[in-house]
Every structure is written in C-alpha cells, then in structure tokens.
C-alpha cells in the first residue's frame, strides 16, 4: 500500500482488517502526511480525550486490574479488539510529531482518577497486542524531552522482559529503536542504558 493510500479505500471493514494484522503493521497502513494544525484542534476540542476514553471504557467495565481482552478466543470481544487497534491508531496520528499533544497525553490525568495519567494507563496495558506499545514508541520517537522524562531503567527492563516472555514481536522491538534516536540524532544516554541493562547484564543476555 502506498503512502496515504488508506484514505482512498472504500467499503473496507477496518475492524476485520485490524483483527487480522499485527498492531505495528496495522498502524503502518495509516502513515502519511501530517497536519499539525488539525492535530492541535483535535486536542483543543477534547476529541482526543473522547478517543482515549473510548479505549479505556472496556477496562473500566471489567474493573481495575482485569484485562477484558485476555482471552483471544472470546468471540464477544472480537469487534472490541479491533476497535482498540483503531483507537490506538487514532491516538498515534493525533500525537505524531506534535510536541504539545505528546506532552498532553503523557501528563493528562485519567478522568475520575486524579492519581493516574494517561501514560500510566498505557504502560499498564503494554502487554496487550492491541497497540499500546506502538503508541508509546510513537510518542517518544520524535520528542527528546519526553524521552528524558519517561524512559527509565524500569521501562526498559519491562520491554526486555516482554520480549523474553512473548518473543521479539515488532511492537516490542521497535520501542528500542524509538528511544535510541530522535529525528536522526543518537540518544546516547538511552543507548548506554540499553547496553548496560540488557547486553552487559549476564542474566538478561543469556536469556536473549
């Protein structure tokens, strides 16, 4: 599919397509030219909030600490799974390379839970193969200040553990690529952190 071609397709069942693709591959379908002004309007009019809350709704419905998508064989959740991927694609496009939207996402508080941010929710959902890992990488890959604020040894180790447990899936591996540079500029602190925590750590290196 050519860049931007997705906008010209008609009669596509996007939920079915989402369910048939890996999160990173599905997100790639929507890559194309950005419109920073429209992205800011989406944030300022709270449409961004509505999209995020739509993705959060299934988790609130089942209660804190439970995953409504944990059973991939549950046919009742098939369409909601596809919708989750669409939600994450929308969030990726809204925040893509617009710093103020990225900071808004990371620092905004969850409605009804003043102790948690949207970033906290995203990190809690990282294992779900529905797009949160791709969304996080997308938030960080063009924002050096955000990387300094959000990329911690704990987060790096969390992704390493998921790769060891779930395999080298693109949505997980791409996180490391995202934090190693910003618009072509090497992020040496993150590169050294990954080297120290994963490669120089004998236990994690042997597990890999």
| pLDDT at position 39 over 80 | yes
pLDDT given at position 72 = 81
Q: Read off the tokens for 153.
A: 């040894």
* Contact indicator for 114, 55 with CB cutoff of 8 Å: no
CB 121 within 8 A of CB 110: yes
DSSP annotation string for 134-201: HHHHHHHTT-HHHHHHH--HHHHHHHHHHHHHH---HHHHHHHHHHHEETTEE-HHHHHHHIIIIIS-
Give which of 123, 133, 120 is closest to 172, Cα–Cα: 133
**If pLDDT is split at 50, 70 and 90, which confidence band does 205 have?**
low
Residue 88 tokens read as 């994450």
Q: For residue range 93-139, what is the model confidence (pLDDT) as tens digits?
A: 999 999 999 999 999 999 989 899 999 999 999 999 999 999 999 99
The pLDDT > 90 percentage for the chain reads: 76
Instruction: Label residue 152 left, alpha or beta by phi (over 0 means left) and psi (-120 to 50 means alpha).
Output: beta
pLDDT band at 38 (very low <50, low <70, confident <90, very high): very high
Q: Provide the pLDDT for residue 79.
A: 93
Question: The whole model's pTM is what?
Answer: 0.88
């Amino acid at each position: 599919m050519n860049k931007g071609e997705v906008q010209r397709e008609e009669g596509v069942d996007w939920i079915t397509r989402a369910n048939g693709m890996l999160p990173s591959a599905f997100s790639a379908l929507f890559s194309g030219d950005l419109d920073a002004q429209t992205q800011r309007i989406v944030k300022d009019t709270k449409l961004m909030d509505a999209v995020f809350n739509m993705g959060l709704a299934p988790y609130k419905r089942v209660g804190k600490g439970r995953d409504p998508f944990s059973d991939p064989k549950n046919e009742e959740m098939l369409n909601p799974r596809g919708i989750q991927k669409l939600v994450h694609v929308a969030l990726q496009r809204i925040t893509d390379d617009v710093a103020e939207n990225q900071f808004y996402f990371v620092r905004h508080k969850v409605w009804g839970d003043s102790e948690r941010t949207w970033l906290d929710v995203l990190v809690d959902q990282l294992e779900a193969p529905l797009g949160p890992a791709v969304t996080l990488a997308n938030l960080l890959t063009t924002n050096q200040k955000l990387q300094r604020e959000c990329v911690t040894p704990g987060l790096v180790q969390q992704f390493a553990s998921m790769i060891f447990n779930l395999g080298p899936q693109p949505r997980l591996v791409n996180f490391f690529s995202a934090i190693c540079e910003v618009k072509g500029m090497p992020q040496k602190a993150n590169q050294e952190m990954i080297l120290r925590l994963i490669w120089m750590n004998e236990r994690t290196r042997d597990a890999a």
